[in-house]
Structure 1
Amino acid sequence: MVQVDGLHKSIRNGSRTVDILKGVDFSIPQGQFAAIMGASGSGKSTLLGLLAGLDTPSSGDVRLNGIAISYLPEDKLAQVRGKTIGFVFQSYQLIPTLTALENVLLPYELNAGETQDGLARARELLTSVGLGDRLGHYPVQLSGGEQQRVALARAFILRPPIVLADEPTGNLDSTNGQHVLELLLNLNRKEGTTLVLVTHDAALAAYADRRITLRDGLIVSDETGRSATASVESK
């Protein structure tokens, strides 16, 4: 589902060239939950941006669901992103002038889906994350944990085969963070998506099927973790 081959990323910093990724290779099969770990400066956020098609590598390639995305024209890349990827951001990225229901529905509308079908799907997802009674609330009326639950529902609205999550519990306290994590894993299991989560938190990564650790732009370990499904069901 995700294939990364010989990925390099360098940037110019004045007269110097800074190598952020130095040749990264891995593949993630359908349905796997993979955590990409590393300290600040390891290259994990850059890698996530390349997986999402939000940046272009200096060399190498990324394939999502069999499609090479790294050098596609922006219009075709936008189409692939819209149909293939759901995003969960650390900072929620909700539109403040839209209600919870409207925020979740937005990707559906942008992809010209049938509105009534989209409304039913959005309501179902918001109910599944415990916000069935908050459909008409605006982001400012929701707590941080509730906003992130809206973001989870939005990420799954189009049933994407891949969900990318960037420190999804980073702005939450431990209780809300655990709740959001469990909801994310349960949604992921129910929808059968491939989940790629970037984090520096070893406790969070422990829930993953697999942990890929970066250091100084290189993969230094790639190990199988415990089952995310079993971890959630044991609670």
Structure 2
Amino acid sequence: MTDAAAMISVQGLSKSIRNGTGTAARTTDILRGIDFEIPAGQFVAIMGSSGSGKSTLLGLLAGLDTPSAGSVALHGTAISYLPEDKLAQVRGRTIGFVFQSYQLIPTLTALENVLLPHELNAKRKEAAEGLPRARQLLTSVGLADRMEHYPVQLSGGEQQRVALARAFILRPPIVLADEPTGNLDTANGAHVLELLLNLNRTEGTTLVLVTHDPVLAGYADRRITLRDGLILSDEMNLSPTTL
């Protein structure tokens, strides 16, 4: 039974893909009937080696893919089989994304990139809040003097900081991060992680981070480890690393 207080609820979640046709066709099971719930405000690291299913799981949590079986509920709303228009509404208001590859729009400035989700999703009465909110977030990640720069004018670490600010612009209850430091050197990766965790605490969001890095996972409240599409372990981190 789903806990009404859970921010994220996953029940019997499976994902399979079919390769080939006719007698040569075969099915590959990527996720195989997994279950877990995440309460509001928890920081969860999803771990596993390449091919374990962790990125597929994140895509299903985000509503970017449809499961073969089972369901995902976010903030009490079942999303797995919603029509695309309603799914986009839920996703826009509920989830902030941080991608490994930044996903900034090259023709928009840093400020415009951060502001974009607000312009696409905010209600009319909230429109005036967007610009000061975007400026405040960029300042909080150390980019007060880079707001009018385009992505090509920013380093990788700066681009990821813009992506962090963008993820939090709508104050989403959930932030999903896919290897957010994977494309950065050690120093920039540590700085981006610190900013992500500080923003998460300040905003009070639920954070789900996919990683293969046990050092990064050491900062999480809880670690879910996948192997071959199944949950190998699900444990609380009794002594999370602090920054």
Matched residue, 2:219: 207
Any gaps of 5 or more consecutive residues in structure 1? none
Following TM superposition, by how much is the alpha carbon of 1:115 offset from its aligned partner in structure 2, in angstroms? 3.9
What is the distance in 1 between the residues matched to 2:32 and 2:120?
A: 36
Matched residue, 2:4: none
Matched residue, 1:231: 242
Matched residue, 2:8: 2
Following TM superposition, by how much is the alpha carbon of 1:227 offset from its aligned partner in structure 2, in angstroms? 5.9
Counterpart pick for 2:147 among 118, 135, 159: 135
Moved over 6 A (4+): none
Letter in 2 for 1:29: P
Any gaps of 5 or more consecutive residues in structure 2? 1-6
Query: What does 1:21-100 align with in structure 2 at a 5 Å threshold?
Result: 21-100=31-110
Counterpart pick for 1:194 among 206, 213, 220: 206
SS at structure 1 position matched to 2:242:
helix
What is the distance in 2 between the residues matched to 1:168 and 1:135?
A: 21
What is the distance in 2 between the residues matched to 1:175 and 1:23?
A: 38
Instruction: Tell me: CA distance 1:50–1:16, structure 2 relative to 1, closer, same or farther (3 Å).
Output: same
Matched pairs, number? 231
Following TM superposition, by how much is the alpha carbon of 1:169 offset from its aligned partner in structure 2, in angstroms? 0.1
Contact 1:208–1:226, Cα closer than 8 Å, also in 2: no
Matched residue, 1:217: 229
For residues 39-63 of structure 1, give each alpha carbon's deviation from its aligned partner in whole angstroms, at most 9, with x where no partner exists: 0000000000000000000000000
Letter in 2 for 1:194: T
Contact 1:208–1:227, Cα closer than 8 Å, also in 2: no
Letter in 2 for 1:231: T
| Residue 132 of structure 2 is aligned to residue 123 of structure 1 | no
What is the distance in 2 between the residues matched to 1:165 and 1:227?
A: 22
What is the distance in 2 between the residues matched to 1:132 and 1:226?
A: 37
Matched residue, 1:148: 160
Percent of matched pairs sharing the same residue: 81
Contact 1:206–1:226, Cα closer than 8 Å, also in 2: no
What is the distance in 2 between the residues matched to 1:82 and 1:48?
A: 16
SS at structure 2 position matched to 1:213:
strand
